[in-house]
Chain A
């Protein structure tokens, strides 16, 4: 499954981040590497971006960007 499919409160482990480019590298360098637990928090009032807790930080990702992150539960 992909990161955008996590419901609030659910936790998954990062598998891979699809694609190439600076966005993927950026997320990897923030520690979203294979096996890292990530928990969905909530979202902005308009339903997008979505918020996640990972390695003690809260990140807001647009739904379309969260879709490139493969996770497993």
Chain B
């Protein structure tokens, strides 16, 4: 295996695409972490090697298990052999910083080739880089490349082939000495390590030393962290000395690596920043870009989503037709299983793809162009009020379209603590699947206007739901951030990377891989969930026409409902889902809900908007959407045996609060589980949101009753 290591934003993905057969690259989940790396085939002299693209890092000493990926891969700590060679990608403009990482890696005695990227950017800034001088000082081959243009990639391959042919000759000894005190300390740390780790010597001891004051860092279960902490109790400055020793070496040698000092200011990037970070122009640009992303997710994705739905509807009809007009009962069950469970389930997976693809396409473009970091910088002050970093903005905004791509988008957040917090509150943002539910309730139950009140009630009610959702998201983030994730520091910096023209190939490649990854990872769970929910509303099979009493028939004729549909509604009442709806009635009664709404809530686990169709089924109206007048009328006129209305504006309000707060989307839970690699976090999110929803609705309904509304 060959490992590709480098700082973030040095063009690593571009290089990876350039030297591997990128299209066959696979996202590989790295053991025990939520990080995924890319593995692609790299051909050298006719031999295929696995090339692992390790997530960008500034140091081998990570702050979280995620950031230990590079170190673990390089040391072969995960039971896999260490790489045969490292390609260390350096940045021609920011040489010292990228070669700091090289020095750390060199100490670990792994054969290495340094590829200095962005040679073109350096040239544009008037810098010439002396590759030979760097090679002489580091003691390993150094190749200049420009990954974007593909310059120097052949030279890199040649150098890499030579290293692999004769690895021993390409291991450099440590370049700098340690002070006697530091040497002693590193040796004492090494002595505390088990043999498996001690063989990496002072280099690993140094990495451990750096990571020690990080609560989140746990590089290896066998490292006796407490014993080492005790050993170092009063030598805190060793960390500083360790880092400064390397930088002193770098600063002593770097004047020989380039012929001009890095100039400050007046680059194209700086001139662009004058506009992009300008209080007025920059803010306007920010709203324009975010507006574009939101429009894309909300509006542009819609025709594609409809197309997928129609396509799967049409396939379903075709398959159903193949069973003939009057199949036997067994064949009828099989037909409905295939059409509604299987075909419907695959459709339920694929409807997410337009939004996922569009979101990852935009994030890829913004990230690679350098704008995403600036957007995070611009909103950092605002998001800090919610205890989140600026990077959380795009995922949260995406949540208003759909939580599934939004949760996936948190991958662009470097720190796991922030990522986890963002993922936990995203399901509270008002996703587009809630909109049909709100629309149905508001249009059926809320007056168009109230005398003496100047504003139209219905749009105002809808707007209030969005404001409510936003406020709750912020509050939840503050509370959860304090309660659960308080241990870690919140200090963070953002690097405003130079503007670069994004490569369409890299962006499309990552869009494609993320879409594919979603289908492979979350697809199975979503399919199973669809089938289970279908079965819950389908079994046991009851012929609803047997349940039609003369009163029901008379009522249906009076209201002009189709008798078959009414019969279906009665059959639904006998289904597992219907029974569960009735069973939970005592729990949801204090919220103002009856068992029919309970069935609707259960059906909504497939997707929140399914609530509308389920209400249609319950009230005997086929294929109802939120615009359906008959459904609105049915809802508005339903009465209990005692003559009181089932659906009042107060019940509507309580139900909307419930939908705003409850975690009712199995697809979101599936993605949460995949992204956190756990069942614990989705279980937690489900629990806290369900409790929140119940308490929220209870408060609204009971307060309303107390105030005299019914």
Interface of A with B (CB < 8 Å)?
16, 20-23, 25-31, 33-34, 36, 39, 41-42, 44-49, 51, 53, 55-62, 64-65, 68
In the complex, chain B residues whose CB is within 8 Å of the CB of A33? 240, 243-244, 247-248
Q: Are B492 and A23 in contact (CB under 8 A)?
A: yes
Please measure, in the bound complex, the distance between the C-alpha atom of A62 and the C-alpha atom of B382, giving whole angstroms: 12
Contact A58 B264 (CB under 8 A): no
B61:A25 contact, CB within 8 angstroms: yes
Query: Residue of A at shortest CB range from B373?
Result: A60
Could you tell me the distance between the alpha carbons of A31 and B99 in the complex, rounded to whole angstroms?
A: 11
Residues in A with CB closer than 8 Å to B381 are: 44, 46-49
Max chain B Cβ within 10 angstroms of own Cβ: one of A22, A46, A53: A22
| Interface flag for B491 (CB, 8 Å) | yes
Additional pairs, 17, CB under 8 Å, beyond known A21-B213, A44-B380, A47-B381: A20-B236, A21-B214, A22-B63, A29-B61, A31-B97, A33-B243, A36-B247, A44-B378, A49-B377, A49-B380, A56-B93, A58-B273, A60-B496, A62-B380, A65-B492, A65-B493, A68-B491
B384 within 8 A of A: yes
Q: Which residues of B contact A27 (CB under 8 A)?
A: 493
Q: Please indicate the chain B residues that have their CB under 8 angstroms from the CB of A23 in the complex.
A: 489, 491-492
Q: B211-224: contact bitstring with A at CB < 8 Å (1 yes, 0 no)?
A: 00110110000000
Instruction: Please report the C-alpha to C-alpha distance between residue A48 and residue B390 in the assembled complex, in whole angstroms.
Output: 12
Known: A22-B214, A60-B380, A60-B496. A31 touches B283 (CB 8 A): no
Residue numbers in A under 8 Å from B63 (CB-CB): 22, 26
- The chain A residue sitting closest to B269, CB to CB, is A58
| Cα-based distance from A40 to B696 in the complex (angstroms) | 48
Contact partner of A28 (CB less than 8 A), chosen from B214, B240, B283, B492, is B240
Q: Which of A22, A31, A56 contacts B100 (CB 8 A)?
A: A31
CB pair B378–A45 under 8 Å, yes or no, is: yes
Given contacts A33-B247, A56-B93, contact A25 B210 (CB under 8 A): yes
B262 at interface by CB-CB < 8 Å: yes
Distance A56 CA – B59 CA, assembled complex (angstroms): 18
Chain A residues within 8 Å of B277, by CB? 42, 44-45, 51
Given contacts A25-B61, A44-B277, A49-B381, contact A57 B491 (CB under 8 A): no
Least Cβ distance of B487 to chain A in Å? 11
Choose one: B93, B210, B283; the contact of A45 (CB below 8 Å): B283
Q: What does DSSP make chain A's interface, helix, strand, loop or mixed?
A: mixed
Which residues of B are found within 8 Å of A61, using beta-carbon distances?
493
Contact A29 B496, beta carbon cutoff 8 Å: no
Q: Which residues of A contact B214 (CB under 8 A)?
A: 21-22, 25
A59's nearest neighbour on chain B, judged by CB, is: B493
Within 8 A of A (CB), among B169-226: 210, 213-214, 216-217
Residue of A nearest to B376 (CB): A60
Q: Of A20, A42, A59, which one neighbours B213 at CB under 8 angstroms?
A: A20
In the complex, are the beta carbons of A25 and B239 less than 8 A apart? yes
Question: Does B94 touch A at the CB level, under 8 Å?
Answer: yes
30 A-B contact pairs sorted by A residue (CB < 8 Å): A21-B489, A22-B214, A22-B216, A22-B489, A23-B489, A23-B492, A25-B210, A25-B214, A26-B63, A27-B493, A28-B239, A29-B61, A31-B100, A33-B240, A33-B247, A44-B378, A45-B277, A45-B283, A45-B378, A46-B378, A47-B381, A49-B380, A49-B381, A53-B265, A55-B94, A56-B97, A57-B97, A58-B495, A59-B493, A60-B377
Given A23-B491, A34-B244, are A29 and B378 neighbors across the interface (CB < 8 Å)? no
Docked CA distance A33–B97 (Å): 11
B58 at the interface (CB under 8 A from A): yes
Interface set, chain B 217-275, CB cutoff 8 A to A: 217, 236, 239-240, 243-244, 247-248, 262, 264-265, 273
In the bound complex, CA of A56 to CA of B96 (Å): 9
Is A29 in contact with B492, judged by CB distance below 8 angstroms?
A: no
**A62 to B58, alpha carbons, bound, how many Å?**
20
B94→A56 contact, CB < 8 A: yes
B209 nearest in chain A by CB position: A25
A30–B97 CB distance below 8 A:
yes
Q: Which of B382, B493, B494 has the most CB of A within 10 A?
A: B493
| Whole-angstrom CA separation of A33 from B247 in the bound complex | 8
Interface residues in B87-120 (C-beta closer than 8 Å to A): 93-94, 96-97, 100
Tell whether, in the assembled complex, residue A51 and residue B491 are in contact, meaning their CB atoms are under 8 Å apart: no
Residues of B within 8 A of A49 (CB): 377, 380-381, 493-494
Residue of A nearest to B491 (CB): A23
A53 in contact with B239 (CB, 8 Å): no
Residue of A nearest to B283 (CB): A45
Distance of A58 Cα from B277 Cα, bound (Å): 13
On whether the beta carbons of A29 and B380 are closer than 8 Å, the reply is no
List the 6 closest pairs (A to B, CB-CB), nearest first.
Answer: A23-B491, A45-B279, A46-B381, A58-B496, A56-B262, A60-B494
Q: How far is the CB of A46 from chain B (nearest CB, A)?
A: 4
Give CA–CA (A25, B94) in the complex, Å. Answer: 19
Closest Cβ–Cβ distance, residue B519 to chain A (whole Å): 36
B492-528, CB < 8 A from A: 492-497
